[in-house]
Chains A and B, each alone.
Chain A
Amino acid sequence: DTEVTQTPKHLVMGMTNKKSLKCEQHMGHRAMYWYKQKAKKPPELMFVYSYEKLSINESVPSRFSPECPNSSLLNLHLHALQPEDSALYLCASSPGQGVDNEKLLFGSGTQLSVL
């Protein structure tokens, strides 16, 4: 299995809803990432987990809450989002050490719309 799998592919939620985005990889990668991407813009880093510990939080609002239950799974819990949070949310992973350590493997993303 050489993919990063993200679910759901599309999500529509109201501002009072609570939802979660899920990301899974089975390549033994030890670093996992959440990116946010608005249309026609580059991806913006939100969080990095390294060896299941949060290593980078790019000053993301607390309405976004990451979780790494184990080395294969990464969740992003969403609560009380704003319409401006509508974007493509991308998960990525990288080996975390050794050869090709720096190359990111991306999932297909979750297109989120906040109404």
Chain B
Amino acid sequence: SQQGEEDPQALSIQEGENATMNCSYKTSINNLQWYRQNSGRGLVHLILIRSNEREKHSGRLRVTLDTSKKSSSLLITASRAADTASYFCATDPTGANSKLTFGKGITLSVRP
């Protein structure tokens, strides 16, 4: 069953603008991760935030996590055409034999 649910499902912005993507999940987690996928390619790990962290930065990426609301956001600042891709949040649930579960994904288009 789907754990993470991203919104919006699709986002189109102008180059230079910021892009914000949200992810909601249902159960307790050890961590939440964001991945990027260019069309027909493998996924690339972007950033991981643990359940005891509230905010994390990596280059132009900023991730927040609110465990009380079971939600996370990914902010990409000063977007570039090369950021055009699908973005997935993935949750690592607590509990034995847990496995990373991906959300449905967000399609981001950055117009030059």
Contacts and interface: CB of A to CB of B under 8 A. Distances in A.
Interface string B54-70: 00000000000000000
B41 A41 contact: no
Interface stretch (A59-67, A72-80, A99-107): A99-107
Interface in A56-115: 56, 88, 90, 92, 100, 102-109, 111
Contact of B42 (A45, A56, A102, A109): A109
Interface size class of A (residues with CB under 8 A): 20 to 34
Contacts of A102: 30-31, 33, 48, 92, 100
A39 to B, nearest CB: 9
Given A41-B104, A42-B102, A43-B102, A56 B48 contact: no
B109 to A, nearest CB: 14
B48 A42 contact: no
B40 A111 contact: yes
Interface of B: 2, 30-31, 33, 35, 40-45, 48, 88, 92, 97, 99-105
Interface of A: 4, 6, 40-43, 45, 48, 55-56, 88, 90, 92, 100, 102-109, 111
